[in-house]
Structure 1
Amino acid sequence: MNYKEALKHPLFKIVSQAAQELNIDAYVIGGYVRDYILERDSKKDIDIVAIGSGIALAKQVSKLLPNNPKVQVFKTYGTAMLRYEDIEVEFVGARKESYQEHSRNPIVEDGTLEDDQNRRDFTINALALNLAENAFGDLLDPFNGLKDMEAKIIRTPLDPDITYSDDPLRMMRAIRFATQLGFKIEKASLEAISRNKDRINIITKERIVTELNKILESEKPSIGFLLLEKTGLLHYILPELTALKGIDEVEGQRHKDNFYHTLEVVDNISLNTDNVWLRWAALLHDIGKAPTKRFSKKVGWTFHGHEFEGSKMVFHLFKRLKMPLNDKMKFVQKMVFMSSRPIILASDMVTDSAVRRLVFDAGDYVEDLMTLCEADITTKNPKRFKKYHNNFKIVRQKIVEVEERDHVRNFQPPVSGEEIMATFNLKPSREIGIIKETIKEAILEGDIPNEHEAAYQLMLKEGERLGLKAVNDQNKISKKP
């Protein structure tokens, strides 16, 4: 079978020419070939395997390309990479690999194309297209990867126990590909993942998180997380989630399975946002329920303070997985901490004061918070489902009205600390904080408008209550909002 159409970009002819000049064979292999056959969006990264030196081939290709793009050489791995237009091309010499038990880093030797295809993780990633002039575009498929694509199967080329034990990251990759492509993991391969699950501990946290992010970025992330749970991998990676699994019953009172509920929420939110950090928030929004679960004879099962507990757990989870402890983590924490606020608003009469406080606390993230809370509606009762969504529409409209009128998002006090100090001839002191807090609370409660004059008058009144004496008006700082 010939796939010349897959190689119509002029870059491939140049690689073919360079290989011919070096008197070596070269092939396009892996993801680019797979995605072309699956008619997925063409990847912007291409893997070339050379039967010889991949580094030498990269340098020869650079000489033949316009502007001679820079070749980055990675001697440790025997690979080289160059960028041409918007394409990233990686070159590697064909190799065979052997592994030691404590490491996923292989011992590498020069090999044949067959050796190189044997070391590939899955049959669908072992497909290669010939770049030789007399066989340009010919498909080499030693493991029936094409047949597995048609059957939508993830299968390892060799014994799955060896494949996964050698490089345990492949277990995560199998689940990730199954999630992204909507494929099934072949039974023997799935069972091998379960048997080798503890090997995941030798993989760096950064590589694991990369795969988790790709699962979360998929159209339906629950596919991947259900497989991670089924194989036992999830317990090693995110025990906070597996702790949510199960339903307890006391005196005939039960609670919902918070693990499966969480996966529903993640799928729901994935219909409305591509923001991977908001998807992380959906995944973690209920992790505080396991440690806060209690049974009361009066009210049944409770999870008091689970949002606060969950937000603290987010920090420890991010730290353990070596994820960024920056604004992304703080965003997830904030979403988890506030995840019940709009739900409470939607179930009661919505007051302007409550909405003002919601907007004030959520700031720029109020839309993200509303998206999360709407995704949290997983009731199977059609009437309740409709009622909750209608209530959220009311809350959203109130947010717009309150924000247009009161401007509390990213709130800046109409009266500054400098103005308070000048008015009462104060140096930095606790009284300034008390006055600012009084003004903020009055605005959020709707007692005064978010305007300078009203805030200034309240400042004078609160200052008097605190025993402060205002100097005359000529010392007043004119400050408009």
Structure 2
Amino acid sequence: MNYKEALKDPIFKLVSDAAETLGVSCYVIGGFVRDYLLKRDTPKDIDIVAVGSGIELANKVASMLDGKPQVSVFKNYGTAMVKNEGIELEFVGARKESYHRDSRKPIVEDGTLQDDQNRRDFTINALALSLNKDGFGDLLDPFDGISDLERKIIRTPLEPGITYSDDPLRMMRAIRFATQLNFTIELKSLQAITANKDRIKIISKERIVDELNKILASPQPSKGLALLHKTELLSYILPELTALQGIEEIEGQRHKDNFWHTLEVVDNIAQTTDNLWLRWAALLHDIGKAPTKKFHKRIGWTFHGHEFVGSKMVYKLFKRLRMPLNDKMKYVQKMVLMSSRPQILSEDFVTDSAVRRLVYEAGDHVDDLMTLCEADITTKNAKKQKKYKNNFKLVRQKIKEVEERDHIRNFQPPISGEEIMKTFNLRPSREIGIIKDAIKEAILEGEIPNEYEAAQKFMLEKAKELGLNKA
């Protein structure tokens, strides 16, 4: 089969000319070919394999391009990259690989195109299109990857046990591709992942998280998370999640399975936001439930303080996985800590002061917090679901009203500590903190409006109570 249409961008003709000048064969391979055949948007990073030196071919291509772009050479990997008009061309020499058991870094030798296709992770990523003058656009498909694309199957070119043991990151990639493309992992391959699960320990945490992020960013993350659980990889990567699985029953009282509930919440939130860190918050919002679970004869199962415990666990989890310990982590912590607040509000009559506190504490993230809480509705009881959704609508409306009237989001009390010191001729002392907190509380409780004059009057009254006089 010929797919010249896939190669209509002039860059492919230029690469073909460069290869002919050097007397080497070259092919487009991997994601570009796969996504073209799936009629998906083709990636802007294109892998080109040369039967010869990939670095030489990259240099030749760069010399023939307008502007003579710089070539980035990665000698350790035998690869080179050329960027041109938003496209990244990565060149590599065809190679064969062998592995040591304690490393995923292969021993590399020069090889044929077939050797290079053999080393690919999946049949759908081993598809290649010829860039040679003879047969330009011809498809080379030694493992019947086309059929796997049609049948929506993830399958390894060679024996899966060897493929996954050699480079255990491929186990994560298999699950990630199955999730992103909505494909099925071939049974033999799935069994090989479970058999090799312990090999994941030689993979860096950063690589694992990169694949995990891609699973979470997919349209239905639960598919990948369930596969990670089924193959027992999840208990190594996120034991805090697998600890939530199961339903206990004592004296006829049961609690829901918080693991499968969490997967539903993540799918729900994936329908409403692309914010990766809010999806992480959905994934981790209940992790505090395993360590706080208790049974009481009178009231049944409780998870008191699970939000607080869960927010503390977020830091340890991010640190262990070498994820960013910056504002992203703090954001996830905040969402987990506050994850039940709007729910509690929605169950009672919503007071202005409760909404003011919510908006003040959530700040710019109050809308994200509401999105998380709405995703947390997983009841199958239609009547209850309707009630909860309507209640959250009321909370959202109340937030809007309070915001417009009181301007509470990220507010600072109208009276500063410096003004309090100046007014009463004070040095830094606990009285200043008491007065500032009292003003803040009075505004949040609605005792005074969020305005300077009202706050100043309240300051004078509070100072009088503390026995302070104006300077």
Counterpart in the other structure of 2:367: 367
Q: String of CA shifts for 1:353-378, please: whole Å, max 9, x gaps.
A: 00000000000000000000000000
1:17 offset after TM fit, Å? 0.5
Q: String of CA shifts for 1:138-174, please: whole Å, max 9, x gaps.
A: 0000000000000000000000000000000000000
Counterpart in the other structure of 2:264: 264
Counterpart in the other structure of 2:237: 237
Q: String of CA shifts for 1:197-240, please: whole Å, max 9, x gaps.
A: 00000000000000000000000000000000000000000000
Structure 2 distance, partners of 1:45, 1:73, is 16
Structure 2 distance, partners of 1:306, 1:14, is 60
Counterpart in the other structure of 2:429: 429
Structure 1 distance, partners of 2:82, 2:311, is 43
Counterpart in the other structure of 2:343: 343
Structure 2 distance, partners of 1:450, 1:124, is 61
Counterpart in the other structure of 1:154: 154
Structure 2 distance, partners of 1:13, 1:254, is 66
Counterpart in the other structure of 1:44: 44
Structure 1 distance, partners of 2:353, 2:256, is 32
Counterpart in the other structure of 1:332: 332
1:60 offset after TM fit, Å? 0.2
1:252 offset after TM fit, Å? 0.3
Counterpart in the other structure of 1:387: 387
Counterpart in the other structure of 2:165: 165
1:7 offset after TM fit, Å? 0.4
Counterpart in the other structure of 1:311: 311
Report the AA paired with residue 196 of structure 1: N
Structure 1 distance, partners of 2:88, 2:434, is 58
SS of 1:108's equivalent? Answer: strand
SS of 1:69's equivalent? Answer: coil
Any residues of structure 2 matched to 1:404-423 within 5 Å, and which? 404-423=404-423
Report the AA paired with residue 97 of structure 1: E
Report the AA paired with residue 138 of structure 2: D
Report the AA paired with residue 256 of structure 2: K
Any residues of structure 2 matched to 1:193-342 within 5 Å, and which? 193-342=193-342
SS of 1:412's equivalent? Answer: coil
The two structures have a TM-score, normalised by structure 2, of 1.00
Report the AA paired with residue 394 of structure 1: L
Gaps of 5+ in 2: none
SS of 1:49's equivalent? Answer: strand
Counterpart in the other structure of 2:461: 461
Counterpart in the other structure of 1:122: 122
Report the AA paired with residue 233 of structure 2: L
Structure 1 distance, partners of 2:89, 2:316, is 38
1:430 offset after TM fit, Å? 1.1
Structure 2 distance, partners of 1:438, 1:457, is 12
Structure 2 distance, partners of 1:417, 1:76, is 58
Report the AA paired with residue 340 of structure 2: S
1:106 offset after TM fit, Å? 0.3
Greater Cα offset, 279-288 or 415-424 = 415-424
Structure 1 distance, partners of 2:55, 2:26, is 12
Counterpart in the other structure of 1:176: 176
Counterpart in the other structure of 1:476: none
Counterpart in the other structure of 1:474: none
Counterpart in the other structure of 1:452: 452
Structure 2 distance, partners of 1:89, 1:467, is 75
Structure 2 distance, partners of 1:298, 1:12, is 73
> How many aligned residue pairs are there?
471
Structure 1 distance, partners of 2:142, 2:458, is 81
Counterpart in the other structure of 2:96: 96
1:457 offset after TM fit, Å? 0.6
Report the AA paired with residue 371 of structure 2: T
Greater Cα offset, 158-167 or 82-91 = 82-91
Counterpart in the other structure of 1:475: none
1:74 offset after TM fit, Å? 0.4
Counterpart in the other structure of 1:399: 399
Q: Would you identify which runs of 4 or more consecutive aligned residues in structure 1 move more than 2 Å?
A: none
Q: String of CA shifts for 1:233-289, please: whole Å, max 9, x gaps.
A: 000000000000000000000000000000000000000000000000000000000
Report the AA paired with residue 177 of structure 1: F
SS of 1:68's equivalent? Answer: coil
1:47 offset after TM fit, Å? 0.1
1:335 offset after TM fit, Å? 0.2
Any residues of structure 2 matched to 1:64-143 within 5 Å, and which? 64-143=64-143
Q: String of CA shifts for 1:363-401, please: whole Å, max 9, x gaps.
A: 000000000000000000000000000000000000000
Counterpart in the other structure of 1:30: 30
Counterpart in the other structure of 1:3: 3
Counterpart in the other structure of 1:438: 438
Structure 2 distance, partners of 1:95, 1:181, is 28
Report the AA paired with residue 150 of structure 2: E
1:429 offset after TM fit, Å? 1.3
Report the AA paired with residue 140 of structure 1: L
Report the AA paired with residue 207 of structure 1: R
1:177 offset after TM fit, Å? 0.2
1:133 offset after TM fit, Å? 1.0
The two structures have a TM-score, normalised by structure 1, of 0.98
Structure 2 distance, partners of 1:44, 1:372, is 33
Indicate the RMSD between aligned Cα atoms, in angstroms.
Answer: 0.4
Structure 2 distance, partners of 1:129, 1:380, is 49
Structure 2 distance, partners of 1:216, 1:232, is 18
Report the AA paired with residue 237 of structure 1: I
1:412 offset after TM fit, Å? 1.2
Structure 2 distance, partners of 1:425, 1:407, is 30
Counterpart in the other structure of 1:477: none
1:88 offset after TM fit, Å? 0.8
Counterpart in the other structure of 1:478: none
Counterpart in the other structure of 1:479: none
